[in-house]
Amino acid sequence: MNPFVFHVPTKIAFAEGAGSSTCEIVKELAGNKALIITDKPLLEGGYLTSVLEGFEDMPHVIFSDVPSDSDVDCVNTIAELARTEECDCIVAIGGGSVMDTAKVVNICLTLGGEILEYQGLNNIAEQLLPLVAVPTTAGTGSEVSMVAMVKDHTEGKKLLFGSRYLAPSVAILDPLLTVSLPPKLTAATGLDALTHAIESYVAVISNSVFTDSLCTDSARMVFENLRTATKNGADIEARSQMLVASTMAGVAFTNSGVGVVHALAHSMGAKFGTHHGIANSIFLPHGILFNMDIAAERYARLARMVGVSKSTKDLTATKDLLDAIEQLCIDCGLPRRLRDAGVPELNNSDIEELVVLAVSDPAIMFNPKDCSEKDIQELYERAY
């Protein structure tokens, strides 16, 4: 058996209505004053009432101005607020943008200094303040992952922070908090989770049975529940399955990495602001086709385990997986080409810039097949 390391530093609590116990959990972590980080649509839409009610008898301050493409300035503003208010624990309630922002705020708040000093991998070597993550989307897995990305607008790219200390202390999974997520975002974030499961399963170091079983089960749960969660957002069982699947896929990818699909999606996010899940859903089939000659055996095994193929032939089973992904995306109303996702026509200089971003994305290192600049360029062209 190959060597592996498997970490789950985060305690995971799931229940319908679990959000209302967030404050109790924060108190258990010995927090005295909580910094609650969220975004405007969630706060003003009144979706967080059940969570916030619990904080009535605990000192707290709320920051709700996290933008969708959160950046270093936002992180610094929040950290300053937290210092002034003397907060000693953080609660992130929202999607990946909010959770990633909260993780980077935690670095600033705990360690002080310039945030740019902490970018890198394994570069944070001490315990940070308690961070409780309450996801309101079912996709990113940021509630359990050991990485966070925020934009540096001055340089026009995303900064990467990776350390086991970045994993939240507790992830509270409450499907009721995802009910208000509109169909398009439900579908897009669900495809982010599916991409995590599939890319992790074939990643170059995906050699642990721990990650394998998380990948296959979470992918199956997405195939079985995303259509219902998208079409009938009030279906709590489908929402629950999606939320748990996305956290499982998060545990998997944070241990074994993602791949070329994520590298392409990150570059589209950095250059055009394309939603991470939408970009993944478009690139996923192209990434599978690209890797197919060396990873068909893995894709085929996954296809059989999630129940989308009965074929004993690897290439046929991989093709079945591709068809199943395509059908799922169509059924969930997701755009199938970049041009249909609002990406303007790509000229040579756009492609050049995107290629540089993608080949230097750490995700690409975990892809099972080496990608040249030409390969990446062709993938953009095919996906457009």
Ligand X SMILES: NC(=O)c1ccc[n+]([C@@H]2O[C@H](COP(=O)([O-])OP(=O)(O)OC[C@H]3O[C@@H](n4cnc5c(N)ncnc54)[C@H](O)[C@@H]3O)[C@@H](O)[C@H]2O)c1
Residues that bind another protein (CB under 8 A): 3, 5, 117, 119-123, 125, 159-160, 162, 164, 203-205, 255-257, 359-362, 365-366, 370
Measured CA to CA, the distance from residue 347 to residue 240 in angstroms comes to 42
Stretch in the footprint of ligand X (CB under 6 A) among 53-61, 173-181, 202-210, 309-317: 173-181
- CA distance to 291, 351, 374, per residue, from 295 (Å): 6, 27, 20
What DSSP element (H or E) covers 40? helix 40-44
φ, ψ of residue 195 in degrees (nearest 5): -65, -40
Nearest to another protein of 101, 208 (CB atom) = 208
End-to-end CA distance of the chain: 41
The interface with ligand X within residues 97-126 (CB under 6 A) comprises: 97-98, 100
- CA distance to 38, 215, 321, per residue, from 288 (Å): 35, 15, 9
Q: What would the x/- binding string for ligand X be over residues 317 to 356, using CB under 6 A?
A: ----------------------------------------
Nearest to another protein of 5, 234 (CB atom) = 5
Measured CA to CA, the distance from residue 240 to residue 73 in angstroms comes to 34
Binding partner at 29 among Fe ion, ligand X, another protein, none, C-beta below 5 to 8 Å by kind? none
In whole angstroms, the minimum distance from the beta carbon of 225 to another protein comes to 29
In whole angstroms, the minimum distance from the beta carbon of 237 to ligand X comes to 17
Measured CA to CA, the distance from residue 271 to residue 355 in angstroms comes to 11
Residues 66/37, Cβ–Cβ less than 8 Å = yes
Stretch in the footprint of ligand X (CB under 6 A) among 14-22, 94-102, 234-242, 298-306: 94-102
Find the binder of ligand X among 94, 259, 287, 368 (CB under 6 A): 94
Measured CA to CA, the distance from residue 127 to residue 165 in angstroms comes to 6
What DSSP element (H or E) covers 131? strand 131-135
In whole angstroms, the minimum distance from the beta carbon of 274 to Fe ion comes to 13
Residues that bind ligand X (CB under 6 A): 39, 41-42, 47, 68, 94-98, 100, 136-137, 139-142, 145, 147-149, 177-178, 180-181, 185, 189, 192, 276-277
